[in-house]
Amino acid sequence: MSTTGQHATVDADELRHRVRELLDAHPPATTDRLDFLRARFDAGLAWVHYPAGLGGLDAPRSLQAVVDAELEAAGAPDNDPRRIGIGLGMAAPTILGYGTDEQRQRLLRPLWTGEEVWCQLFSEPGAGSDLAALATRAVRDGEDWVVDGQKVWTSSAHLARWAILIARTDPDQPKHRGISYFICDMTDPGVEVRPLRQITGEAEFNEVFLTGVRIPDSRRLGGIGEGWRVAQTTLMNERVAIGGGRIPREGGMIGLVAGVWRERPELRTHDLHQRLLRLWTESEAARLAGERLRQQLALGQPGPEGSAMKLAFARLNQHISALEVELLGEEGLLYDDWTLRRPELVDFTGREAGYRYLRAKGNSIEGGTSEVLLNIIAERVLGLPPEPRTDKDVPWKDLPR
């Protein structure tokens, strides 16, 4: 059946009926969590807009909220989306868009259920903001590619089974060409993960060394040399995932500060009050803009507007966390755990103000630096003239490094 036909038949009532069938066959109170998640995926209720057989029903993306609300009301378990955010927000849409049928069938189900964690091997010590300058090499050897290089700022690498990886396969091409996109098994020989201790005292990020790692050509996404085009799908989805999450009114970090303001009148000053009002208004405007972005996303692929949401998210988090520390005074500097921990996820709301202030500094780097996002917004949203790029047509091997 065509996608149009599926859209015409799978409506909100049909989805509610399918949810009831799932709950009757697998009562959440007596069904193992993983078994329930697998059954939900197989019923097409994981991503309703994905194709049938891949966790979806070819339904409109906007109807996912219907399924989520019904299952939440029934007390059904979720797939802990914060823990597997890289897989859900970045790897899955890229695999769906460029993967073979075999890759989709093998990878998407355990990705969604959380059985297999994913990480992202993109940034390098010499290729962060200028990602296309990456130097990790992949050399063809029969049916395999042999990969050597170093990646950095890799969230969840210490937990991941799989990684999305871009590497240079033709150094004679300009830097944006000659890149290919692979799926890397993080348990393969030659993959070494080392912790990166951050300003918070934790090691949530990692550096990853790849030495003679053999990746079968069957784990390539997209054509040889087309990795930059494939990576754009990943990056646009990443920015929406970071900056466009659905939150309630006065949710997130602004809600924490507003709560302290109401509960601790002795901390209030006129200046802090004015700043709180301004940030509350900006947070609400960003929340509403995020709703609009998700509506646009439901109609097609993410566009460059996601860069604006991610930029706003980073700035707001940093300004709000700074206000919270000032509001709490000396108390705001307290941070109860400076030991080297290896957290599974970033928890902005369940930690102390001092942690939030320090961790928010990374928001202007992860998912694309704020400076790069400003360029994207200027050129692709506002239509301003692009910056001069003298290296655009120069072979990568001839670029100074």
Residues 229-261 have pLDDT tens digits of: 999 989 877 766 655 566 778 888 899 999 999
C-alpha to C-alpha distance for 86 and 271, rounded to whole angstroms: 39
89: in domain: no
In a shared domain, residues 242 and 377: yes
180: in domain: yes
Please enumerate in sequence order all residues whose Cβ is within 8 A of that of 2, keeping only pairs 6 or more positions apart, or say none: none
Task: Report the pLDDT value the prediction gives residue 121, as an integer from 0 to 100.
Answer: 97
In a shared domain, residues 235 and 315: yes
Domain-ending residue, one of 225, 242, 272: 225
In a shared domain, residues 196 and 290: no
Domain-ending residue, one of 197, 225, 253: 225
In a shared domain, residues 60 and 125: no
Q: What is the 3-state secondary structure (H, E, C) of 80-140?
A: CCCCCHHHHHHHHHHHHHHCCHHHHHHHHHHHHHCCCCEEEECCECCECCCHHHCCCEEEE
246: in domain: yes
Task: Report the pLDDT value the prediction gives residue 243, as an integer from 0 to 100.
Answer: 52
For residue 70, give its domain range. 3-78
Q: Which domain CATH number covers 366?
A: 1.20.140.10
In a shared domain, residues 276 and 372: yes
Inform me whether the pLDDT recorded for 19 exceeds 80. Answer: yes
Number of domains present in the structure of the chain? 3
Share of the chain above pLDDT 90, in %: 62
Helices (runs of H) and strands (runs of E) counted in the chain: 13, 8
Inform me whether the pLDDT recorded for 320 exceeds 90. Answer: yes
In a shared domain, residues 142 and 194: yes
In a shared domain, residues 374 and 237: yes
Query: Which 8-state DSSP code applies to residue 167?
Result: E
**Taking the CB of residue 106, how many other CB atoms lie within 10 A of it?**
16
Inform me whether the pLDDT recorded for 213 exceeds 50. Answer: yes
In a shared domain, residues 220 and 338: no
47: in domain: yes
Residue 194, phi then psi, degrees to nearest 5: -125, 140
Active-site residue numbers?
A: 238
In a shared domain, residues 370 and 283: yes
In a shared domain, residues 205 and 285: no
Q: Lowest mean pLDDT: which of 2-16, 53-67, 102-116, 265-279?
A: 2-16
Residues 134-170 have pLDDT tens digits of: 999 999 999 999 999 999 999 899 999 999 999 999 9
In a shared domain, residues 251 and 352: yes
